C-alpha cells in the first residue's frame, strides 16, 4: 500500500456557499503540487465555480478535469488570463514560478491564490508586494496547516474567546513523509523549492502569528540540515527556528521529512499553544496510538483537562472569507501584509539558518 | 485541595539493593527543597542506609525524620562531615549554597549528591571541578526529570537498542506549577536560584545529551521572560533554548511556571525524541484527558504506532549505579564531566539569554 503523503492531502468540508452559482468564476493554472485540490475543494465548497484548468502537462490537466468535470482545459495560460469573467487564479505551480505567475495574474486585474511557499526569494517578494500595491489585487496564500485544519480553526476561536488567557508561546511540529519515489524532480532542487524553512516552515510562522495575534515578529535563530538523505544533496530534511513576536510571544517550530512508515498519516502535525491561563494541544492529522481521526484538540485550563474532537465542527471559513474579500475588497480571510510578512520571515529564517553538517 | 506541586514530587520505586545492609551509610544535609525525599527514596531503595539529617531549620529535620525514622538528627553539619562512616552526602539546600557545600563535602573525603541545579555561577562550577579533580571525590547531580522518570529510562533503553535509529533531535517541555504561596523566599530571589534556565533548564540539557548520546553541545539561542508574575520581579516564569550537539543532534526545550490548576499533575512534562527511523514521545507525569497514570511512552517506527505504559517496569537504575560508582570508583551512573558540562551549558544558556520584556 502506498502510504499517504502530504502531496495528495486535500481535505473536504461541507458546502457553505457565500455567493450564488456562477457569481465567482475561478481558474486553476499550474497544477504541480496536489495542494491545488485542497485549495479548489475549499473554494468550490464556498461557492466558487471552477471554469478553467491549465498546465503544460496534459496528464496533470486530465487528472484535474477528472476530479472537477465542470472545468474546461484552457489552451494556454493566456487564454485564462484574458478571460474577463475569471476573478481569481489558483495555482500550485513549482514554488520558484509562483511569484512571477502572481505578478502576471495581478497585472491582468485578477486576484491570486497560491500554494505555500508563495515566494522563494526576496526579489520575488518585492515584485509581488509592488504589483499588489500598484494594482490593488490580492495575493492570497494557502497556509493549509492552519487554514485547512479544523482543530486549528477551533483553537483560534477558543483563543479569541479567552480560553487560555494571553498567548505566550506557540510550538509547532510539522513532520512530513518524504515518499521520495513519488516526488517530482523540482522537489529536490534548492532553486525550485527554496529550502525547508521556506517550503514547509512558512505554515508554522503563519500559525504562530495568528494564534499569538502578532502584528510582526523577528527570527531569533534557525537551523537546517540534511541528516539522512545525502543522495539528494539539495534536499534539507530538517529545519527549525525560534521567533519572537512584537507582543512578546515566542515561537519554536520544527519541520522535517522523517515521518516513519508506521504512522497512519502523512505527518504527526502538532501545535501547543501556551497561554497565561491554560494551554491547547492540537493533534492535527491523528492522535498516535489512540485515535486515527484527525483534529483532536486538548485543552487544559484552570478547571480541567479536556479532549475535543473537532472533526466536522467548524469547517474551513477561510475559503468563504477569501471569496468575500475578493468581492468586497475587504481583508477578513487574511490581510495582505500578513501573507507577505509570513513569507518574508520564512525567507529570513532560511537565509540566516545555521547549516548543520552531520 | 492543595494541587500537587513539583516541590513535593518524590517518586518511589521497588527495593533493588546493590549493597548489603549498612554497607553504604549516607547523610542528608540541607533540606530546603522537597527533592531530597526523591533522592533519598532512590538511594534507600538501592540499599543505602540513611544515618544523619541536618538542617538549620528543626522543622525541616523533623519532617525528614518522620519520613525516615532510621535517621538521626545531627547537631551540626560538621558532625556529619566528621563521621568517617558516611560515604555520601545528599543535599537539596538553596541552589546558591549547593556548590560551596559540595566543595566542603569533597574536602572531607566524601562523595556528594545534590539536587539540580547543582551550581549557579561559573565560579562555583570552577571551584567544584577543581575540588573534584583534586580529591577524586564525586559530585553527582539529581537531574530527576530523566533519572527519576521510568518512561525516560525506558526510552533510553529503546534508543540504545536502535528502536528509532540515529537520534536527530530532542524536544523537551518542562512546565511546572508555580504554587507561589507554597514557595520559600529564596525561590523568588535571582541570586539564590540562578534563573529559570539554570534551575529547571538543566534537566532538559542533561536529557538531551543523554538521549542524543552527545559528548558535548553548544547553546545556539536562549530566551527568558517574566510574563505574568511581575509581583515577583526576580522570577522568570518562561525560558527556552536551542542547542546543537557535537554529533549534529539538535535540541529545543521550554521551561515555565504556567501549569494550569486544572492539570492533574504538577506539570505536563513531555519529551519528543526524533530519530532517522522513528520517534518516541514521553508523557511523563500524565497523559492529558486520557490517563492519569504517569510514564506513558509512545513509539512510532517503520511498522506501527504503539503506546507503552512503562510505570512499574524498568525502575530507576541510576541510584544503584550511583552507589556502585561510589563503591567501585566507576562512572556508570553518569560521568563527572557530563554532570558538570550540563551545569555549564545551563549557565551559558542563562547568561546568553535574550530577556523578553512584555
**Is the pLDDT score of A203 beyond 90?**
yes
pLDDT value at position A118? 98
B298 vs A contacts (CB less than 8 Å): 288-289
- For residue B102, the model assigns a pLDDT of 98
C-alpha torsion sign, points B44, B49, B55, B59: positive
CB contact under 8 A, B250 and A238: yes
Test A248 with B262 for CB contact under 8 angstroms.
Answer: no
- Stretch A173-199: mean pLDDT, rounded? 97
- Cβ within 8 Å, pair A240-B252: yes
If we measure between CA atoms, which residue out of A194, A1, A191, A48 comes closest to residue A115?
A194
> What percent of chain A lies above the pLDDT cut of 70?
98
Which chain B residues are within 8 Å of A1, Cβ to Cβ? none
Contact B305 A264 (CB under 8 A): yes
| B177: chain A residues, CB-CB within 8 Å | none
Give the per-residue pLDDT at B14: 86
> Nearest-CA residue of chain A relative to B251?
A240
Give the mutation candidate from B4, B196, B242 for the A interface (greatest A CB count, under 10 A).
B242
pLDDT of residue A4: 60
Would the CB atoms of B276 and A228 count as touching at under 8 Å? yes
Q: Are A302 and B260 within 8 A, CB to CB?
A: yes
| Reported ipTM | 0.96
Task: Show residues of chain A in contact with B3, CB under 8 Å.
Answer: none
Asked if B259 and B175 count as a contact pair (C-beta separation under 8 A), the reply is yes
Q: Shortest Cα distance from B251 to chain A (angstroms)?
A: 10
Query: Which of chain A's residues have a Cβ under 8 Å away from the Cβ of B280?
Result: none
Distance CA(A349)–CA(A204), nearest Å, equals: 12
The pLDDT assigned to B277 comes to 98
Which residues from B are below 8 Å from A247, CB to CB? 358
d(CA B246, CA B237): 30
Kindly give the confidence (pLDDT) of every residue in chain B, 358 residues in length, as a single tens digit, with 9 standing for 90 and above. Answer: 345 666 777 888 888 999 999 999 999 999 999 999 999 999 999 999 999 999 999 999 999 999 999 999 999 999 999 999 999 999 999 999 999 999 999 999 999 999 999 999 999 999 999 999 999 999 999 999 999 999 999 999 999 999 999 999 999 999 999 999 999 999 999 999 999 999 999 999 999 999 999 999 999 999 999 999 999 999 999 999 999 999 999 999 999 999 999 999 999 999 999 999 999 999 999 999 999 999 999 999 999 999 999 999 999 999 999 999 999 999 999 999 999 999 999 999 999 999 999 9
Query: CA of A296: which chain B residue's CA is closest?
Result: B289
What CATH number matches the domain at B146-315+347-356, 3.30.70.260, 3.30.1360.70, 3.40.50.2300, 3.30.360.10? 3.30.360.10
- Kindly report the backbone phi and psi dihedral angles of residue A249, in degrees, each rounded to the nearest multiple of 5, phi listed first: -70, 150
Going edge to edge, which strands form the sheet with B72-73?
B72-73, B49-54, B25-29, B88-91, B111-115, B139-142
Return phi, psi of residue B309, to 5°: -85, 110
Average pLDDT value for residue range A12-25: 94
Q: What is the per-residue pLDDT for A2?
A: 43
pTM of the predicted model as reported, rounded to 2 decimal places: 0.97
Nearest C-alpha of chain B: how many angstroms from A130?
A: 34
- B25 Cα to chain A: minimum distance (Å): 44
- pLDDT tens digits, A310-335: 999 999 999 999 999 999 999 999 99
Which pLDDT belongs to residue B5? 67
Closest-approach residue (CA) in chain A for B237:
A276
- How many CB contacts within 8 angstroms connect chain A with chain B? 161
Question: So where are chain B's domains?
Answer: 6-143+317-331, 146-315+347-356
Positive or negative: CA dihedral B187, B190, B191, B193: positive
Task: State pLDDT tens for residues A140-168.
Answer: 999 999 999 999 999 999 999 999 999 99
Express each pLDDT in B136-180 by its tens digit. Answer: 999 999 999 999 999 999 999 999 999 999 999 999 999 999 999
**pLDDT 10s digits, A300-311:** 999 999 999 999
Please give the pLDDT value at position B10: 85
Burial B117-126 (b: 16+ CB within 10 A, else e): bbbbeeebbe
Of A162, A203, A122, residue with least CA distance to A301: A162
B117 preceded by a cis bond (ω within 30 of 0): yes
Residue B187 DSSP SS3: helix
Partner-chain residue, chosen from A220, A227, A277, that has the shortest CB–CB distance to B221: A220
Please state which architecture CATH assigns to domain A6-143+317-331.
3-Layer(aba) Sandwich (3.40)
Determine, for residues A263 and B225 on separate chains, whether the beta-carbon distance falls below 8 Å: no
- Hey, is A250 helix, strand or coil? strand
Higher pLDDT, A171 or B10: A171
Burial class of residue B357 (count of CB atoms within 10 Å of its CB; 0-12, 13-18, 19+): exposed
Amino acid at each position: 500500500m502506498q502510504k499517504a503523503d502530504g502531496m495528495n492531502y486535500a481535505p473536504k468540508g461541507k458546502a457553505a456557499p457565500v455567493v450564488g452559482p456562477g457569481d465567482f468564476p475561478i481558474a486553476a493554472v499550474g497544477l504541480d503540487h496536489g495542494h491545488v485540490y485542497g485549495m479548489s475543494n475549499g473554494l468550490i465548497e464556498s461557492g466558487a465555480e471552477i471554469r478553467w484548468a491549465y498546465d503544460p502537462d496534459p496528464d496533470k490537466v486530465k487528472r484535474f478535469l477528472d476530479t472537477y468535470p465542470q472545468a474546461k482545459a484552457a489552451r494556454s495560460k493566456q487564454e485564462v488570463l484574458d478571460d474577463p469573467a475569471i476573478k481569481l487564479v489558483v495555482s500550485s505551480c513549482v514554488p520558484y514560478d509562483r511569484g512571477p505567475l502572481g505578478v502576471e495574474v495581478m497585472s491582468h486585474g485578477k486576484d491570486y491564490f497560491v500554494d505555500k511557499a508563495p515566494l522563494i526569494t526576496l526579489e520575488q517578494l518585492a515584485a509581488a508586494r509592488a504589483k499588489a500595491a500598484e494594482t490593488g489585487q490580492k495575493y492570497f496564500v494557502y497556509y493549509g496547516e492552519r487554514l485547512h485544519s479544523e482543530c486549528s480553526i477551533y483553537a483560534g476561536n477558543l483563543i479569541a474567546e479567552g480560553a487560555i488567557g494571553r498567548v505566550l508561546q506557540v510550538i509547532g511540529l510539522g513532520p512530513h513523509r518524504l515518499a521520495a519515489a513519488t516526488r517530482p524532480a523540482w522537489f529536490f532542487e534548492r532553486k525550485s523549492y527554496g529550502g525547508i524553512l521556506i517550503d514547509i516552515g512558512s505554515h508554522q510562522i503563519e500559525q504562530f502569528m495568528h494564534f499569538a495575534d502578532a502584528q510582526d515578529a523577528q527570527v531569533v535563530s534557525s537551523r537546517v540540515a540534511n541528516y539522512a538523505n545525502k543522495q539528494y544533496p539539495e534536499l534539507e530534511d530538517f529545519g527549525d527556528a525560534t521567533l519572537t513576536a512584537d507582543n512578546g510571544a515566542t515561537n519554536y517550530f520544527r519541520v522535517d521529512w522523517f515521518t516513519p512508515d508506521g504512522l497512519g498519516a502523512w505527518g504527526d502535525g502538532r501545535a501547543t499553544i501556551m497561554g497565561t491561563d491554560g494551554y491547547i494541544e492540537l493533534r492535527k492529522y491523528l492522535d498516535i496510538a489512540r485515535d486515527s481521526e484527525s483534529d483532536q484538540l486538548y485543552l487544559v485550563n484552570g478547571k480541567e483537562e479536556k479532549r475535543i474532537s473537532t472533526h466536522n465542527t467548524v469547517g474551513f471559513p477561510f475559503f468563504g472569507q477569501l471569496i468575500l474579500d475578493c468581492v468586497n475588497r475587504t481583508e477578513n480571510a487574511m490581510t495582505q501584509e500578513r501573507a507577505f510578512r509570513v513569507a518574508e520571515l520564512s525567507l529570513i529564517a532560511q537565509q540566516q539558518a545555521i547549516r548543520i553538517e552531520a
